[in-house]
Amino acid sequence: MKQFMKKKAFMAPFMMVLTVLLVMPMALANAGKGKSRGLNGAGMGPGGMASTVSQLPKEDLSQEEREGLLKMVEEEKLARDVYSFLYDQWKTPVFSNIKNSEQRHMNAVISLISKYGLENPVQDLGPGQFVTPEMQELYDTLTSEGSQSLEQALQVGATIEDLDIKDLNELINKCDNQDILMVFQNLVKGSRNHLRAFTSYLKSMGLTYTAKYLSQDQVDQIIESDWERGPVDSNGKPLRGFIGKGRGCSCPCLSN
């Protein structure tokens, strides 16, 4: 009984944060229809993300985990800024919907950066501004490509999610802190749904996406599988009581 109560008490903060994070809009399942629901999920007011992440156990931070957090906050900013740019360019709802999701991804990583006493490298940077030359060059390249046509803009969206999934998978293999793993597992689940959204839109236009970071087999396996709903644990397994039904996207992504 004592062991059960200890386990229950340990899991309570995880369940609390995941309840807060069920906010990804169902609109991604209907990306071109302009519907956007659930973007302002419950508990996401000022300071909400930081307070919920702070309730998860704090563990020793490895160098790989430190570098991973700093890398991902900039990469999530890249996604948000590119989608914002592409929405302004093409006024297609899928970019606006996923841009809002990427802001929540950023907030999740920033909450962990704050929790572990790190300096947020993108705190004072405006849209389209980045710390690393590589990320700045990638932003410039992707926005230039996405400006050519709506079809190319959707290819850019799929490319960003392709990159996110690859990097998150690699970081997950290097981390063991439960709070970081839970955030990254939910972020990568959200990115898989985002990839499904962009490739579904491309398919409706008679187009396909060619993998650039993952293998083509990995990309095909993702886009041919069902949309994922509800939060996952630090091992990427669905949590009982939170599994949704049907197609659509409710990615928690510590705010997907």
**pLDDT value of residue 52:** 56
What are 169-179's pLDDT values in tens digits?
A: 999 999 999 99
**pLDDT value of residue 241:** 62
**One-letter amino acid identity for 24?**
M
Express as a percent the part of the chain with pLDDT over 90: 66
**pLDDT value of residue 238:** 87
Confidence band for 234, pLDDT divided at 50, 70 and 90 = confident
State the CB neighbour count (10 A cutoff) for residue 42.
12
Entry pTM: 0.78
239 touches 230 (CB < 8 A): yes
User: In angstroms, rounded to a whole number, what is the distance separating the alpha carbons of residues 198 and 157?
Assistant: 6
**pLDDT value of residue 30:** 39
CA-based max dimension of the chain: 63
**pLDDT value of residue 54:** 66
**pLDDT value of residue 239:** 75
Confidence band for 11, pLDDT divided at 50, 70 and 90 = low
**Considering the chain, what is the average pLDDT of its residues?**
80
Q: Comparing 30 with 188, which gets the higher pLDDT?
A: 188
**One-letter amino acid identity for 5?**
M
State the CB neighbour count (10 A cutoff) for residue 210.
10
- Which alpha helices (H) appear in the chain, and where do they start and end? 2-20, 48-54, 63-90, 93-115, 133-146, 150-172, 178-204, 216-223
Architecture of the domain defined by 62-223: Up-down Bundle (1.20)
Q: What is the mean pLDDT of residues 187-194?
A: 96
Distance separating the N- and C-terminal Cα atoms of the chain: 36
**pLDDT value of residue 24:** 36
Q: Which range among 54-63, 70-79, 158-167 shows the weakest confidence by mean pLDDT?
A: 54-63
User: In angstroms, rounded to a whole number, what is the distance separating the alpha carbons of residues 96 and 197?
Assistant: 12
**pLDDT value of residue 23:** 36
Inform me whether the pLDDT recorded for 252 exceeds 60.
no
Inform me whether the pLDDT recorded for 78 exceeds 50.
yes
Cα atoms in the Cβ-side hemisphere of radius 13 Å centred on 116: 23
Residue extents of the structural domains in the chain: 62-223
State the CB neighbour count (10 A cutoff) for residue 215.
10
Q: Which range among 18-27, 61-70, 80-89 shows the weakest confidence by mean pLDDT?
A: 18-27
Inform me whether the pLDDT recorded for 61 exceeds 80.
yes
Confidence band for 20, pLDDT divided at 50, 70 and 90 = very low
Express as a percent the part of the chain with pLDDT over 70: 73
State the CB neighbour count (10 A cutoff) for residue 126.
7
Confidence band for 89, pLDDT divided at 50, 70 and 90 = very high
Inform me whether the pLDDT recorded for 19 exceeds 60.
no
If you count them, how many residues does the chain have? Answer: 256
Backbone φ and ψ for 238, nearest 5 degrees, come out as: -60, 140
